[in-house]
């Protein structure tokens, strides 16, 4: 059921009653048609080959249990090569349908997720094995005294104020999907503070800050430490361009070398952890 009047399709990617509209890279944001699902927003990926152009439309959906294997693949190196309860982590993400989006290709028989975006309250899920192991891992790999003090506080006393921003996708996801995809997330967080059935659930989405774990490449293996107002670090290659924006927003960050999927180049794989207000 619609929640209110439909907004201008050409200027608004997401509204409370109509979460989005199909887009083509050819029409530059002008809607073509409406699709069913969590969101009607589609992006188009065009790939030139010997026989012409292939176009694929992507659609936003609520997470569901059937997405388990696809989302698990997207997150398989989320905490590098450490052994942890990744299956439990994926279950948490898929069980939280109020806030979270899975991006799929329209008409894909395999129903493969190409992206997952969500925000999990570290306090709400603190007793789950996967969240305990995630906290232990981050505290273990953080070697900076100033940062680890703040990190321990955020994961302990202030955990109920912290949203773990999980944003994983295939590298070649159409870039025009990214702004509305993240707008959708923060809209859902805002709506959840009003629409969830209990005060406890509504409060669990009143995030004061976010923690992001993501992958970057660096031209050397020195730890990257950044405080607000300081240089973002030379030689950083952001695998996902949107992570650069989050990194710039962060109050502090740290990085550590990855062991999984090392590339035989002068660039070393790292995981960067960013803390920011939004």
pLDDT, tens digit, 9 for 90 and up, residues 84-123: 999 999 999 999 999 999 999 988 878 899 999 999 999 9
Q: CA angle, 81 as apex, 250 and 210 as ends, to 5°?
A: 20
The CA-based diameter of the chain, rounded to the nearest angstrom, is 59
Residue 226 falls inside a structural domain: no
The pLDDT of 212-231, averaged and rounded, is 61
The answer to which of 5-14, 210-219, 220-229 has the lowest mean pLDDT is 5-14
Residue 269 falls inside a structural domain: yes
Q: Which residues contact 19 (CB under 8 A, 6 or more apart)?
A: 38, 39, 40, 41, 60, 184
How many CB atoms are located within 10 Å of the residue 203 CB?
A: 15
pLDDT score for 194: 97
Residue 114 falls inside a structural domain: yes
pLDDT tens, residue by residue, 55-67: 778 999 999 999 9
Q: Can you give the residue range of the structural domain that contains 68?
A: 56-221+234-276
How high does pLDDT run on average in the chain? 78
The pLDDT of 170-199, averaged and rounded, is 95
Distance of alpha carbon 13 from alpha carbon 59, whole angstroms: 13
pLDDT at 22 over 90: no
pLDDT score for 235: 78
Which range in 180-194, 239-253, 255-269 is most confidently predicted, on average pLDDT?
180-194
Distance from CA of residue 260 to its chain's centroid? 20
Residue 70 falls inside a structural domain: yes
Residue 1 falls inside a structural domain: no
Distance of alpha carbon 124 from alpha carbon 161, whole angstroms: 10
Domain count, the chain: 1
CATH of the domain at 93: 3.40.630.30
Residue 229 falls inside a structural domain: no
pLDDT score for 263: 52
Q: How confident is the model at residue 161 (pLDDT cuts 50, 70, 90)?
A: very high
pLDDT at 202 over 90: yes
Residue 11 falls inside a structural domain: no
User: What's the token pair of residue 91?
Assistant: 């279950």
Sign of CA dihedral 105, 41, 3, 168: positive
pLDDT score for 45: 47
pLDDT tens, residue by residue, 244-260: 989 888 999 998 888 87
Distance of alpha carbon 6 from alpha carbon 228, whole angstroms: 39
Residue 92 falls inside a structural domain: yes
């Amino acid at each position: 059921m619609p929640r209110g009047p439909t907004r201008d399709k050409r200027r608004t990617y997401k509204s409370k009653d109509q979460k989005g509209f199909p887009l083509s890279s050819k029409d530059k944001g002008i809607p073509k048609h409406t699709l069913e699902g969590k969101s009607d927003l589609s992006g188009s990926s065009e790939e030139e080959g010997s026989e012409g152009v292939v176009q694929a439309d992507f659609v936003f959906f609520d997470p569901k249990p059937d997405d388990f294997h696809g989302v698990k693949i997207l997150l398989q190196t989320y905490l590098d090569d450490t052994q942890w309860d990744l299956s439990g982590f994926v279950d948490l993400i898929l069980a939280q349908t109020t806030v979270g989006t899975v991006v799929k290709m329209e008409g894909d028989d395999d129903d493969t997720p190409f992206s997952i975006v969500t925000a999990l309250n570290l306090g709400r899920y603190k007793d789950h094995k996967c969240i305990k192991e995630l906290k232990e891992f981050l505290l273990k790999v953080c070697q900076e005294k100033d940062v680890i003090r703040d990190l321990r506080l955020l994961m302990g006393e202030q955990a109920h104020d912290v949203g773990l921003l999980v944003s994983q996708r295939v590298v070649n996801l159409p870039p025009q999907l990214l702004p509305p995809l993240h707008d959708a997330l923060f809209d859902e967080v805002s709506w959840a503070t009003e629409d969830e059935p209990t005060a406890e659930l509504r409060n669990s989405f009143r995030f004061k800050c976010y923690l992001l774990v993501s992958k970057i490449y660096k031209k050397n293996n020195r730890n990257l430490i950044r405080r607000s107002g300081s240089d973002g670090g030379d030689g950083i290659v952001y695998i996902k361009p949107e992570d650069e924006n989050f990194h710039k927003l962060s109050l502090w960050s740290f990085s550590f070398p990855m062991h999984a999927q090392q590339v035989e180049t002068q660039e070393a794989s790292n995981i960067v952890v960013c803390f920011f207000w939004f």
